[in-house]
A and B are shown apart, each in its own frame.
Chain A
Amino acid sequence: MRFGIVVFPGSNCDFDCKYVTGDVLGEPTTFIWHRETKLPEIDVLIIPGGFSYGDYLRAGAIARFSPIMDAVIDFAEKGNPVVGICNGFQVLTEAGLLPGALLQNNSTKFICQWSSLRVESNQTQFTHLYQPEELIDLPIAHMDGNYYLDADAATELEKNDQIVFRYVSKTGETTASANPNGSVNHIAGICNKAGNVLGMMPHPERASDAVLGGIDGIRLFKSLQSPWGKS
């Protein structure tokens, strides 16, 4: 499984993602510079976290105009798997590959902590190694993770089973205090209608090595590594 990781100026989780796909999983992994206009031969594309273009104007708003983005959109539209993590999620919404927008956390502060999540859909190529409704812990680290979309669109997402992860309490409840940033319906990660583009604020690449305190993230990358036939 060949992974490609897009590097914008200001990306800073690029090395961490490569560490997991390349060093932990041993898969060939290539950095793709934002000025490129073509993707190399890859099977999975990751848009990593960070502060592309310093988050100036709006997180992800400038990165979507990078030369590489046409190729990214083309790759996604052909049905290939694309994962946007944190700033990558913001870029995907700005580029129109995913619905909604990510607003500033309702605390107005950056938040870095472990968060409990519920896997809302394991019927995706990103999550098929998780159990249905499994509770997992992943780190979050963001200033703008407050996922927003209007009520009708949210209902549409729920109906289409596009919600992949939700913030919950340790025991799996969607209590107010379990929502770290004010996201609509506690949404932490979604996929597009076709199911091949995933955007998520939590960082699975930071939970893929036991020495760092948790390994609930590694199965996301392993899901991509292993075959999945949608039932």
Chain B
Amino acid sequence: MSDSRAEAIPYHTLTDEEYEKTKKLLNRAPNATELAIFSAMWSEHCSYKSSKRYLARFPTKGEHVIHGPGENAGVVDIGDDWVAVFKIESHNHPSYIEPFQGAATGVGGILRDIFTMGARPVALLNSLRFGPLDIPKNRYLMEEVVAGIAGYGNCIGVPTLGGEIVFNEIYSKNPLVNVFCLGIAKKDEIVTAAAGGIGNPVIYVGSKTGRDGVHGATMASAELNEETEDRHTVQVGDPFTEKRLVEACLELIHSGTLVGIQDMGAAGLTSSATEMADRGDCGIEIDLEKIPLRDASITPEEIMISESQERMLLVAKKGCEAEVAAIFERWDLDVAAIGFVTDDHIFRVKKGNTLVAEIPVKALTAEAPLYDRPVKAPAFQDLLLGLQEEAIVEPRSYSETLLTLLGSPNFASKKWVYQQYDHMIQNNTVIPPGQGAAMIRLKGTNKALAMTTDGNSTYALLHPYFGGAIAVAEAARNLACVGAKPIGLTNCLNFGNPERPETMWSFGLAVEGMADACERLEIPVVSGNVSLYNETLGMGIYPTPVVGMVGLVDSAALIETPLTPGFKAPGEKIVLIGDTREELGGTAYLKIIHAQERGYPPNVDFGKEKSVHAVVVAAAEAGLLRSAQDCAEGGLLVALAECCLLSPSDVGAKLEIEPPSIRMDGFLFGESQSRIVVSVKTEDLVQLETLIAEEGLSSTLLGETGTASLVLSVKGRTRPLVSVSLEAMKDVYENGIACYFEDHRKNT
């Protein structure tokens, strides 16, 4: 083997030190294919070399956790022999370069992570970040990303139940596309991605290998600039093939012929083969001549790191080759035995009789570099935290301010988006998108699973610890609002260039905040993904930790009549659970109305947070609640407006409050955590207040539900402080996003 580092340059991204390390591990210089393999496996994307030391901080154990991080997805026991399998993953870089295919293949990839565990995918969510919609490029990116997600999910037949979309200037050059998938399986159907059984066949199934996505993992581990907008690094998705792959793989898993299976995701064949060998503590030998190819001219390096979609690698029991082949052939999918499991702990690649690469498995996994990158708080951090509240002028009209907030894309209805997603297929959707957490029932049980994605990057910019902690707290609060108890979370940590000390400073703090919140709220982290280098032309994103959380609803009544945010009927009592402090820092109000992203984000008291969730879940299970909505971005007044806007029967609210002891804008738009607005029938009020008092929490009776308007008066003032009709709110809320997409407007 010759030292062909120069000719391998296109597929090589190792630093000089890393290159020296490969020589030491091999006792010789790596050849071109080996360099490509090392580059892919040691990329940030595959090795987590900058983030790994922080991730150890997450609590990953729990009574019900069957598989935590390290497998393709987390697995949690939900009782009655059922398990929930879920994970979130980023597809940020590809979605900026080619938004439709980038987003579509993101969905394809996360689906494979779920069914590779033996679970049938039952729900998709996403978490998206774009720049402002008045910039045409951002509209293009959003339209294509949404179409890509829809195109894949709709075709494969897994409902997309919404998620979250946030707009901020910082994402104009770095949109974020995080996709989440939930699957369910019977406990004994779960399989893992470990190779095993010396001599067992290694089998390739699915699409043929082409050049698409070559360099994908390394591309996703670097900053973008004009030159790196290489579309060939983005894979092309084929949901039709994936649909057949799901059915064939689930059939295979039930056939009893399988040892282990993994999808060929980032770094394709290389990562799937080495990771399976690593988990099984064995070696794997493959022959490139046996790989189904789209194009005979593709080189060994390209085969090894191609990220062509809809491919799986599996290890079957020896002697079962024909049975495995028959299953895939029935679904018109390629299937080829390409190698076998060995006992020498070496990843060996041949092309016929020629040796192409020979690397100890551990050199690619355990021996991958680990970095303890320098850490430094940004120079501007103190400036950001300084907020001169006295300079913030209170609104002259709270009604006008409310309408401005409701019409801004961050608050406006996301219907334009989710009506492009088939959110009803599989006949399980109990709470559809657009109402906080979404919920699906599990047929044949009295269980339902609620799910949500959350993250607030303004908080994370101002104080990464609270940005991380609040993402967890808010997700759990969203679940409590439908009566669900969290069973676990998955996270996607979107950050800038880890080689900048400021990035790793915020990364460390955000992880710390998330970990503390998880520990205190007793929610294990079961899977996740880190996306670094979200920078284009030197401009990084805000730290954007995103949480995907799943909760269990164990009550038939809450499935038959789900708890949702909208007010249900006039004449019912509206109660705010939790305390409101003067916390204007980092609020949406400050950003949208006063054009400032400054100040300390809200504090979070984990003990109180937990108590609030406990009260709401207990009240929901007791059948006391008619509606529940968390107070988050936009504060109390926006939460109340949303309860009116989401009312199935146009119910409004008439509220009367005591003059608050804090600034009025702080009271109405401040974003104090651990607050939930609920409505109850008058006769149930005492029982609810007893429950709240028993948990040691405070609550405020705000008023009553009423006719189609939102009116808020302050005792002692003659005229209402807020008075808006539901119609006026609907007008801005329903058009806030739709108005940017002209074609849509013409049709409505």
Distance in angstroms from A76 CB to nearest chain B CB is: 26
The answer for the CA separation of A19 and B428 in the assembled complex, in Å, is 11
Whether, in the assembled complex, A226 has its beta carbon less than 8 Å from a beta carbon of chain B, the answer is no
Whether, in the assembled complex, A110 has its beta carbon less than 8 Å from a beta carbon of chain B, the answer is yes
Most A-side CB within 10 Å, residue of B154, B430, B744: B154
Chain A contacts of B747 at CB under 8 A? 106-107, 177
- Ordered by A's residue number, 12 sampled pairs between the chains whose C-beta atoms are within 8 Å are A12-B157, A12-B425, A13-B425, A15-B427, A16-B426, A20-B427, A55-B240, A107-B747, A112-B421, A112-B422, A141-B154, A212-B428
Whether, in the assembled complex, B748 has its beta carbon less than 8 Å from a beta carbon of chain A, the answer is yes
Question: Which 6 pairs show the lowest CB-CB distances between chains A and B?
Answer: A12-B157, A54-B240, A51-B155, A141-B422, A16-B427, A112-B422
Contact of B157 among A50, A107, A205 (CB under 8 A): A50
Q: Give me the interface of A with B, judged by CB distance under 8 Å.
A: 9-10, 12-13, 15-16, 19-20, 23, 50-51, 53-56, 106-113, 139, 141, 143, 177, 203, 205-206, 209-213
Residue count of chain B within 8 Å CB distance of chain A:
37
Whether, in the assembled complex, B184 has its beta carbon less than 8 Å from a beta carbon of chain A, the answer is no
Chain B contacts of A23 at CB under 8 A? 443
Chain A contacts of B748 at CB under 8 A? 177
User: A9-B331, A110-B150 known; A15 and B426 CB under 8 Å?
Assistant: yes
Chain B contacts of A107 at CB under 8 A? 743-744, 747
Whether, in the assembled complex, B16 has its beta carbon less than 8 Å from a beta carbon of chain A, the answer is no
Distance in angstroms from A6 CB to nearest chain B CB is: 15
The answer for the CA separation of A205 and B425 in the assembled complex, in Å, is 10
Distance in angstroms from A21 CB to nearest chain B CB is: 12
The prevalent SS among residues of B at the interface is: mixed
| Contact A9 B244, beta carbon cutoff 8 Å | yes
Known: A12-B156, A110-B420. 11 other contacts (CB 8 A): A10-B155, A16-B427, A20-B427, A107-B743, A110-B154, A177-B748, A205-B427, A206-B424, A210-B560, A211-B441, A211-B560
Whether, in the assembled complex, B239 has its beta carbon less than 8 Å from a beta carbon of chain A, the answer is yes
Q: Closest residue of chain B to A208, judged by CB?
A: B427
Q: Closest residue of chain B to A114, judged by CB?
A: B424
The answer for the CA separation of A158 and B424 in the assembled complex, in Å, is 32
The answer for the CA separation of A177 and B150 in the assembled complex, in Å, is 23
The answer for the CA separation of A204 and B47 in the assembled complex, in Å, is 48
The answer for the CA separation of A177 and B432 in the assembled complex, in Å, is 22
Distance in angstroms from A195 CB to nearest chain B CB is: 28
| Contact A19 B156, beta carbon cutoff 8 Å | no
The answer for the CA separation of A33 and B154 in the assembled complex, in Å, is 22
Distance in angstroms from B138 CB to nearest chain A CB is: 18
User: A12-B157, A50-B157 known; A203 and B240 CB under 8 Å?
Assistant: no
User: A9-B331, A12-B157, A211-B559 known; A54 and B239 CB under 8 Å?
Assistant: yes
| Contact B427 A9, beta carbon cutoff 8 Å | no
Contact of A56 among B240, B560, B743, B744 (CB under 8 A): B240
The answer for the CA separation of A19 and B332 in the assembled complex, in Å, is 26
| Contact A212 B429, beta carbon cutoff 8 Å | yes
Chain B contacts of A109 at CB under 8 A? 147, 420, 743-744
User: A107-B743, A112-B419, A211-B560 known; A139 and B239 CB under 8 Å?
Assistant: no
| Contact A54 B155, beta carbon cutoff 8 Å | yes
Distance in angstroms from B354 CB to nearest chain A CB is: 38
- Tell me the B32-53 residues at the A interface (CB within 8 Å): none
The answer for the CA separation of A20 and B427 in the assembled complex, in Å, is 9
Chain B contacts of A212 at CB under 8 A? 424, 427-430
The answer for the CA separation of A195 and B241 in the assembled complex, in Å, is 36
The answer for the CA separation of A206 and B427 in the assembled complex, in Å, is 6
| Contact B155 A55, beta carbon cutoff 8 Å | yes
Q: Closest residue of chain B to A17, judged by CB?
A: B427
| Contact B420 A111, beta carbon cutoff 8 Å | yes
The answer for the CA separation of A203 and B151 in the assembled complex, in Å, is 19
Chain A contacts of B684 at CB under 8 A? none
Chain A contacts of B426 at CB under 8 A? 15-16
The answer for the CA separation of A16 and B744 in the assembled complex, in Å, is 30
The answer for the CA separation of A50 and B154 in the assembled complex, in Å, is 8
Whether, in the assembled complex, B423 has its beta carbon less than 8 Å from a beta carbon of chain A, the answer is yes
The answer for the CA separation of A212 and B96 in the assembled complex, in Å, is 36
The answer for the CA separation of A77 and B240 in the assembled complex, in Å, is 31
Chain B contacts of A53 at CB under 8 A? 240
Distance in angstroms from B537 CB to nearest chain A CB is: 32
Q: Closest residue of chain B to A53, judged by CB?
A: B240
User: A111-B419, A211-B559 known; A9 and B243 CB under 8 Å?
Assistant: yes
The answer for the CA separation of A12 and B159 in the assembled complex, in Å, is 11
Chain A contacts of B443 at CB under 8 A? 19, 23
The answer for the CA separation of A15 and B432 in the assembled complex, in Å, is 20
The answer for the CA separation of A161 and B151 in the assembled complex, in Å, is 36
| Contact A113 B419, beta carbon cutoff 8 Å | yes
Whether, in the assembled complex, B238 has its beta carbon less than 8 Å from a beta carbon of chain A, the answer is yes
Chain B contacts of A54 at CB under 8 A? 155, 238-241
Distance in angstroms from A210 CB to nearest chain B CB is: 8
The answer for the CA separation of A49 and B157 in the assembled complex, in Å, is 10
Distance in angstroms from A33 CB to nearest chain B CB is: 8
| Contact A112 B424, beta carbon cutoff 8 Å | yes
The answer for the CA separation of A141 and B748 in the assembled complex, in Å, is 17
User: A107-B743, A113-B419 known; A10 and B150 CB under 8 Å?
Assistant: no
The answer for the CA separation of A187 and B295 in the assembled complex, in Å, is 46
Chain A contacts of B332 at CB under 8 A? 9
Q: Closest residue of chain B to A13, judged by CB?
A: B425
Q: Mask for B136-159, Cβ within 8 A of A = 1, else 0?
A: 000000000001001100111100
User: A9-B243, A9-B332, A12-B157 known; A112 and B423 CB under 8 Å?
Assistant: yes
Chain A contacts of B147 at CB under 8 A? 109-110
| Contact A9 B240, beta carbon cutoff 8 Å | yes
Distance in angstroms from A9 CB to nearest chain B CB is: 5
The answer for the CA separation of A111 and B748 in the assembled complex, in Å, is 13
Chain A contacts of B156 at CB under 8 A? 12
| Contact B425 A10, beta carbon cutoff 8 Å | no
Q: Closest residue of chain B to A111, judged by CB?
A: B419
Most A-side CB within 10 Å, residue of B241, B243, B418, B441: B243
Contact of B425 among A9, A108, A111, A141 (CB under 8 A): A141
- Tell me the B93-118 residues at the A interface (CB within 8 Å): none
Distance in angstroms from A95 CB to nearest chain B CB is: 20
The answer for the CA separation of A206 and B422 in the assembled complex, in Å, is 12
- Tell me the B233-287 residues at the A interface (CB within 8 Å): 238-241, 243-244
Q: Closest residue of chain A to B747, judged by CB?
A: A107
Distance in angstroms from B156 CB to nearest chain A CB is: 7
| Contact B425 A16, beta carbon cutoff 8 Å | yes
- Tell me the B407-452 residues at the A interface (CB within 8 Å): 418-430, 432, 441, 443
Contact of A139 among B240, B244, B424 (CB under 8 A): B424
Contact of A13 among B155, B157, B418 (CB under 8 A): B157
Q: Closest residue of chain B to A51, judged by CB?
A: B155
The answer for the CA separation of A109 and B418 in the assembled complex, in Å, is 11
User: A9-B332, A112-B419, A141-B154 known; A51 and B425 CB under 8 Å?
Assistant: no
Q: Mask for B716-748, Cβ within 8 A of A = 1, else 0?
A: 000000000000000000000000000110011
Chain A contacts of B744 at CB under 8 A? 107, 109
| Contact B424 A203, beta carbon cutoff 8 Å | yes
Chain B contacts of A13 at CB under 8 A? 157, 425
The answer for the CA separation of A177 and B745 in the assembled complex, in Å, is 11
The answer for the CA separation of A210 and B556 in the assembled complex, in Å, is 13
The answer for the CA separation of A108 and B239 in the assembled complex, in Å, is 19
The answer for the CA separation of A143 and B157 in the assembled complex, in Å, is 14
Chain A contacts of B240 at CB under 8 A? 9-10, 51, 53-56
Q: Closest residue of chain B to A35, judged by CB?
A: B330
| Contact A51 B239, beta carbon cutoff 8 Å | yes
The answer for the CA separation of A15 and B246 in the assembled complex, in Å, is 14
| Contact B743 A108, beta carbon cutoff 8 Å | yes
Q: Closest residue of chain A to B433, judged by CB?
A: A112
Q: Closest residue of chain B to A20, judged by CB?
A: B427
Most A-side CB within 10 Å, residue of B418, B424, B427, B429: B427
Q: Closest residue of chain B to A210, judged by CB?
A: B560
The answer for the CA separation of A108 and B441 in the assembled complex, in Å, is 32
| Contact B243 A51, beta carbon cutoff 8 Å | yes
